[in-house]
Structure formats: structure tokens, C-alpha cells
């Protein structure tokens, strides 16, 4: 039985509650508690993203809402970030996870806590919720993980199919900038000393991650797929079709023995009560039901919900941004679902349907992939994949005839028989929706480093000229192909700027293959419903500089180089609660010559500004990467300014051998 969702309590807030760990490190927590409620369950969100400015807008919408309904909520800055002590080491380090377990035990022991704790988060907070759950801290009874992964190597921002994602540099550059900012001087009188210590110790993570090019022990740490049985906390997994982490909800349904449910909507990398594209859902109400059942033992029937609730998106024309996605909600009582069958379509001579002999020579120019969009759409700019026709023209395409209306639900698989003229090569595979006028919408996609065809831990070079058969599993999707429209499988030997290119131009010869398409019986209408979104009062901010987002491609007509230019100005705001002023700008350039994989170059520059009571603090963080045939080369520079004075500058430069890449 669902409870009344009206607020029950006034909420008291503490902006800087200190949690002192066993080693003396003080973590700073922002805490919302229901006034006069007595001991209540607690909800932890544990992040490096700075509660004072980084997540302050979304925190205002979420945590007070839960607190008004009888939960203590804590947003804790991780060690080395925000207003907490200590130094940052890496993502999901043993220290981070140990700290989280200690924080959970501390929370459970407080007189205002009932002794039962939940953990939630999106992205980093979704990752560490799963990883901490696998460590089984006694007080942790339930988690809600959003936009996360179960396999840090195969399904994060570093590698996909054993290919090097350029997001490895992009997000590493972001953390180089994010974690090197100072605390809020209003909370830390020693903020200058803390800032200097961070600046001197901040790890250059793109190089840390790039040193592990195989699925080794570094990546197995924190990958809960290594032992799904370790997780005993009840798990609600949430994802979005516009996000890069869409494979995890079905993986958790398949792998966990603990209570588990999954929801996937049309959203990008955002919480579903304020995400885009719409429709949004009442995520907070769904989360409250989860907490009530597993932290309060209320018999509200949440365990009887369908195992899998997914938004079946109508097939639309391609666009780099959607405000909303028409479609409907479908449900499955178990996953994998016995209702979903496989439609097998063979490759022919550029056809998709009955098998026919063919041989196609494929040598994609290095800039193929320009319409791929962002790997992880998050910044609300033109980040979605655009019309695929430009990339299709640089790929080997296999087209079906006109099809009946088809509900594609699951992870398509493409099999390829091919030969390579080089020992190291890759393929990118896209499943596209062909419209009657020729427009091409990317439905889903995948990739494979062909030296990883049998193992991500032990790659084996190709024998030039020798035929191999490989399988490429594409990302999960729920997509309705309209009647009379066609499918296309597009195969390319490069995919820039999504992936760093292989060291030599490659020619592949395709000689066979096919598509296994997961097809669900046609949904006649919504099979479940969600309440409309609710949230607490939004944060009051004063806009000092408006945000803007630019994404453009430049072609140098003299040199032939093709460059993607990204300029994300996130504006500047003044916090209406405590007066901190903050703003940031991201600039990226990804350049390559169509004929030369060794011309690839990535450049990322972040500016971060913070102002408080006449104090002006700024960091400039630059990260670059290029390569030759044998090594990757990385360079970073970190500058810190107080007013007009440069108070710190540090340069790093590393070369890392290529390992079957």
C-alpha cells in the first residue's frame, strides 16, 4: 500500500557536519533531517563533486524531499574534494570504498538514525553504491544506482569493446580540474593550505587509466560482475536510453540474487525527476517506495512491481537534441524475458535479409564517426548522434527491405566474417533506422578491438589475410521501427572522435555475417504508469553569466585536417543560500587527418572560478594527448590563481606504450 506522499516533517539542515574517520580525516557532510521524527533511516550520497557548488542544484531538489518524508539525508564530500580533508587518489579506490563503509557505520550509530542506511547516486555515486554494497557493510539495507556500471573495463568511460574511448582523456581532464578546486573559505579557515596540498598531489588520471589497456586486476577491482552474489542489499537500477550506461539495469536483473528492479527511460545522464528528453517520471516517489520497503519494512508491494520497466521509444528522425521522445512504457516480469525472440537477418551484397555471397573491401577514413555525438550526453548541448548518412557513406552498409512495425527490445548482436591487412584493427558497428527519404537515425551501436575478439585480458594479434569470425554485442535499446521503414547495419574500421585510432590505416575485407535482432511482441499501449515528477523547492540562484553550448566541425581546406570544436560555458551563478559565486567553462578540440591515424590529437581545457567575500580563486587545467606508432603521449598543466597572482603551476608529461591499440 502506497503511503500519503505529502510532507510529514519540517526539515532542518546542517551545511557542514564533520565525520571524523579512524585515521583522523574529517569529511564534510551536508545533512537534512526531519524535525521531531525520532530515529529514522538514513540515505547517503557519497561523491567527489562538491556539495557546496557542484551538485547543489540537484541536491536541493532531492534530499529535502526525502527528509520531509521521514529520512535523514547526507551528501558527503569524499576525501580530497569539496570541503573535506585528505587527498584524492583515483576513482573507486580501496580508500574511497573503505571511507564509505566507515561513514555508513558512523551514520548508523547516530542517535537520530534507526541504524538502517540506504545509499544512492548517479554516475560516480551509482558506481560506488554498487561497489560498497558488494562489501556488505552491516547497516546498508538498500541502494538505488543510476547510470552506473557493473564492469569498469567493458562499460565505463575508458574502453568499449577493448577500443580506447577518447572520454578517457576527456573525463580524466575533467577530474584534473574538478578535484583541484579549493574548499569554500566560509567553511574552512585553512582553505589556502588545503588548496595547495590538493594542487600538489592531484593525480593526472588520464595517464593512470591509460596504463591499464587490458582488463587486468585494476579494472576487476570495483567491477561487481566479478561476483554478483556479494551484493545483498535490495537494488533499484535506473538508466536512460540517451545515456552511455544503459546496459547495467538488465545486467543487474540477470546477475543479482538480491531483490532487484530496473527502470530505463528516454533520458540522458540525469536524475529522472528533472531529466531530458521527456517524459520525466516521479522518481522520488518511486525511490521513497523502495526505501520504505527495504529500510522500514513497510509492506507496500514494491517487490511485486515488474522486474523491468522500460520506455519504448518511437522511431524519430535524427537530431542532435530532443526535448521529448514519444513512446510508451513496457514491462517484463523477468529478464531475460521469454517473450522476446530473435529475428535473424543475414548479410548479402550490401543487403540485410536472406544470405548471399559477397566480398566488400572496407577502409574507412579516420574521421568516420563525426555524427556519433557524445559518448555520455550530459551537458544539455547538441550531444546526441546526428543524421548518420555522412558516416554511413564512409562505412560498409547492409540494408533491409521495408519491414513491418517492429519493437526492438534488448541487445542486438552482429556477427562478422572478415580479414584484415594489419595485425591491429577495430570495427565500429551501428544499427540504424532508415527513413523513406534516406535519413539515418542511430538506434544503437557497439565496437570491438579485433585483437580482443576472444579476451579483453589476453589480446591476440590478427594474422593479416586470415579470416576470423567475431561477435559485436550492441548496447541495449527499446525502439519501435515504424512500418515500411528499413534497418541498416553500418560497419566502419574507424570511429573518430569516439575512439582513438589504431596506429596504421587498416583495410578490412568483409565476407559474411548477420544481425540477431531482439524482437518483442508489439506493445498496444502503456503497460505501467508513473506518477508525475515531484521535487523540493529549487535552489535560488542569481545568474551572473548565461550558459551556452557550441559544437561545430572545422575542415582545414589547406591541410585536410578535420576538427571537432566543443565549447561549453556553464555560466556563472551566485548561490542564494550562502552567497558563493561559481562558474566554469570547458573547451575541447579533437583533430585528425582522414588519411593519417597518427595525426590524431585531443586537447581539453577547463576554467573554474570561485568567489567569496572579495576572494577570487581560479584554476586553469589543460590536458592533451597524441600518439605515434608505438606510444601514447600525454601532457597536462594545472594553474591556480588567487586574484591576479599565480600561486601554483604544475606540468606533467607521460608516454605510455601502446598495447594492441
State which residues form the domain around 166: 154-205+540-576+579-661
Mean pLDDT of 646-659: 98
- Residue 3's pLDDT band (boundaries 50, 70, 90)? low
79 shares a domain with 186: no
**Residue 529, in any domain of the structure:** no
Is the pLDDT confidence value at 378 over 90?
no
Condensed to tens digits (0 to 9), the pLDDT of residues 222-235 reads 999 999 999 999 99
- From 281, 301, 332, the end of a domain falls on 332
C-alpha cell belonging to residue 419: 580479414
Domain membership of residue 1 (yes or no) is no
Q: Do the domain assignments include residue 211?
A: no
Task: Say yes or no: 144 and 159 in one domain.
Answer: no
> Is residue 492, in this structure, part of any structural domain at all?
yes
Average pLDDT value for residue range 486-493: 98
Kindly state whether residue 210 falls inside one of the protein's structural domains: no
Mean per-residue pLDDT for 152-170? Answer: 97
User: Is there a single domain that holds both residue 158 and residue 200?
Assistant: yes
**Residues 46 and 195 occupy one common structural domain:** no
Is 171 found in the same domain as 146? no
Whether residues 420 and 482 fall in one domain: yes
Q: Are 421 and 465 in contact (CB under 8 A)?
A: yes
Q: CA–CA separation, 292 vs 309, rounded Å?
A: 20
533 in a structural domain: no
Domain count, the chain: 3
72 and 138 in a single domain? The answer is yes
Q: Is 535 within the bounds of a domain?
A: no
Both 92 and 110 in one domain: the answer is yes
Q: Give the span between the Cα atoms of 362 and 356, in whole angstroms.
A: 18
pLDDT digits (tens, 9 = 90+) for 18-31: 999 999 999 999 99
Residues 158 and 143 in one domain: no
How far is the C-alpha of 103 from the C-alpha of 45, rounded, in Å? 11
Task: Determine the average pLDDT of the residues in 70-82.
Answer: 98
pLDDT digits (tens, 9 = 90+) for 514-527: 999 999 999 999 99
Q: Mean pLDDT, the chain, as a whole number?
A: 97
Of 634, 631, 621, 553, nearest to 589 by C-alpha is 553
41 φ/ψ angles, rounded to the nearest 5 degrees: -65, 160
The answer to whether 557 and 580 have CB atoms below 8 angstroms apart is: no
Does the structure show a pLDDT above 70 at 480? Answer: yes
All three cell numbers of 612: 567569496
Closest CA to 504 of 417, 407, 426, 448: 426
Out of 297, 332, 367, pick the residue that ends a domain.
Answer: 332
Check residue 2 and give its pLDDT: 58
Whole-number pLDDT of residue 201? 96
Chain segment 433-471, per-residue pLDDT in tens: 999 999 999 999 999 999 999 999 999 999 999 999 999
Report the CATH number at residue 305. 3.40.50.1820
Alpha helical stretches, state H, 179-240? 191-201, 205-210, 217-220
Q: Tell me if 526 is assigned to some domain.
A: no
* Separation between Cα atoms, residue 494 and residue 597, nearest integer Å: 9
**Helical (H) or strand (E) element with 236:** strand 234-240
Out of 332, 357, 373, pick the residue that ends a domain.
332
- The grid cell for 414 is 552482429
pLDDT tens track for 306-331: 999 999 999 999 999 999 999 999 99
Percent of the chain whose pLDDT exceeds 70: 99
Average pLDDT of the segment spanning 549-569: 96
Shared-domain flag, residues 595 and 477: no
What's the whole-number mean pLDDT along residues 479-503?
98
pLDDT, tens only, 110-131: 999 999 999 999 999 999 999 9
pLDDT tens-digit readout, 629-649: 999 999 999 999 999 999 999
CATH number for the domain harbouring residue 409: 2.60.120.260
> How many Cβ atoms are within 10 Å of 305's Cβ, its own excluded?
19
Amino acid at each position: 500500500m502506497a503511503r500519503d506522499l505529502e510532507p510529514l516533517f519540517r526539515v532542518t539542515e546542517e551545511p557542514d557536519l564533520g565525520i571524523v574517520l579512524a585515521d583522523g580525516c574529517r569529511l564534510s557532510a551536508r545533512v537534512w533531517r526531519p524535525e521531531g521524527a525520532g530515529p529514522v533511516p538514513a540515505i547517503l550520497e557519497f561523491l567527489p563533486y562538491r556539495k557546496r557548488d557542484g551538485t547543489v542544484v540537484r541536491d536541493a531538489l532531492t534530499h529535502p524531499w526525502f527528509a520531509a518524508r521521514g529520512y535523514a539525508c547526507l551528501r558527503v564530500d569524499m576525501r580530497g574534494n569539496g570541503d573535506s580533508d585528505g587527498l584524492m587518489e583515483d576513482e573507486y579506490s580501496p580508500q574511497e570504498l573503505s571511507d564509505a563503509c566507515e561513514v555508513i557505520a558512523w551514520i548508523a550509530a547516530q542517535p537520530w538514525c534507526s541504524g538502517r542506511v540506504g545509499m544512492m547516486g548517479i554516475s560516480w555515486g551509482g558506481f560506488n553504491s554498487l561497489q560498497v554494497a558488494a562489501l556488505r557493510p552491516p547497516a546498508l539495507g538498500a541502494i538505488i544506482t543510476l547510470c552506473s556500471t557493473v564492469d569498469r573495463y567493458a562499460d565505463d568511460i575508458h574502453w568499449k569493446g577493448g577500443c580506447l574511448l577518447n572520454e578517457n582523456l576527456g573525463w580524466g581532464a575533467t577530474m584534473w580540474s574538478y578535484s583541484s578546486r579549493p574548499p569554500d573559505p566560509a567553511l574552512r579557515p585553512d582553505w589556502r593550505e588545503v588548496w595547495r596540498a590538493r594542487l600538489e598531489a592531484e593525480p593526472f588520471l588520464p595517464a593512470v587509466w591509460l596504463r591499464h589497456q587490458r582488463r587486468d586486476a585494476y579494472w576487476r577491482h570495483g567491477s561487481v560482475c566479478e561476483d554478483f552474489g556479494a551484493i545483498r542489499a535490495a537494488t533499484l537500477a535506473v538508466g536512460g536510453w540517451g545515456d552511455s550506461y544503459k546496459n547495467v539495469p538488465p545486467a543487474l536483473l540477470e546477475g543479482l540474487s538480491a531483490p532487484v528492479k530496473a527502470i530505463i527511460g528516454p533520458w540522458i545522464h540525469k536524475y529522472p525527476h528533472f531529466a531530458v528528453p521527456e517524459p520525466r517520471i516521479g522518481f522520488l516517489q518511486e525511490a521513497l517506495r523502495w526505501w520504505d520497503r527495504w529500510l522500514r519494512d513497510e509492506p507496500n508491494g514494491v517487490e511485486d512491481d515488474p522486474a523491468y520497466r522500460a520506455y519504448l521509444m518511437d522511431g524519430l528522425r535524427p537530431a542532435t537534441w530532443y526535448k521529448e521522445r514519444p513512446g510508451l512504457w513496457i514491462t517484463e516480469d523477468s529478464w531475460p524475458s521469454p517473450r522476446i525472440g530473435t529475428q535473424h537477418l543475414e548479410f548479402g551484397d550490401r543487403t540485410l535479409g536472406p544470405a548471399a555471397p559477397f566480398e566488400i573491401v572496407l577502409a574507412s577514413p579516420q574521421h568516420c564517426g563525426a555524427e556519433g555525438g557524445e559518448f555520455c550526453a550530459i551537458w544539455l548541448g547538441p550531444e546526441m548522434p546526428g543524421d548518420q548518412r555522412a558516416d554511413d557513406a564512409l562505412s560498409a552498409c547492409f540494408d533491409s527491405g521495408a519491414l513491418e512495425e517492429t519493437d526492438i527490445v534488448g541487445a542486438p548482436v552482429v556477427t562478422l566474417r572478415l580479414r584484415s591487412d594489419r595485425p591491429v584493427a577495430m570495427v565500429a558497428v551501428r544499427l540504424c533506422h532508415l527513413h523513406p527519404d534516406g535519413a539515418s537515425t542511430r538506434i544503437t551501436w557497439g565496437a570491438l578491438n579485433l585483437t580482443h575478439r576472444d579476451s579483453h585480458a589476453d589480446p591476440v594479434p590478427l594474422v593479416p589475410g586470415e579470416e576470423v569470425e567475431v561477435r559485436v554485442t550492441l548496447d541495449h535499446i527499446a525502439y519501435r521501427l515504424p512500418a515500411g521503414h528499413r534497418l541498416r547495419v553500418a560497419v566502419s574500421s574507424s570511429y573518430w572522435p569516439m575512439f582513438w585510432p589504431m596506429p596504421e590505416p587498416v583495410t578490412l575485407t568483409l565476407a559474411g555475417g548477420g544481425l540477431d535482432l531482439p524482437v518483442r511482441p508489439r506493445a498496444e499501449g502503456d503497460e505501467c504508469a508513473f506518477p508525475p515528477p515531484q521535487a523540493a523547492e529549487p535552489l535560488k540562484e542569481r545568474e551572473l553569466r548565461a550558459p551556452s553550448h557550441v559544437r561545430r566541425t572545422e575542415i582545414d581546406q589547406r591541410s585536410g585536417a578535420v576538427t571537432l570544436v566543443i565549447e561549453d560555458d556553464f555560466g556563472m551563478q551566485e548561490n542564494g543560500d550562502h552567497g558563493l559565486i561559481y562558474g566554469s567553462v570547458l573547451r575541447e578540440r579533437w583533430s585528425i587527418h582522414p588519411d593519417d591515424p597518427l595525426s590524431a590529437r585531443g586537447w581539453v581545457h577547463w576554467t573554474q572560478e570561485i568567489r567569496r567575500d572579495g576572494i577570487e580563486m581560479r584554476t586553469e587545467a589543460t590536458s592533451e594527448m597524441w600518439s605515434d606508432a608505438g606510444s601514447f603521449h600525454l601532457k597536462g598543466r594545472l594553474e591556480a590563481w588567487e586574484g591576479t597572482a599565480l600561486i601554483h603551476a604544475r606540468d606533467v608529461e607521460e608516454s605510455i606504450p601502446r598495447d594492441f591499440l
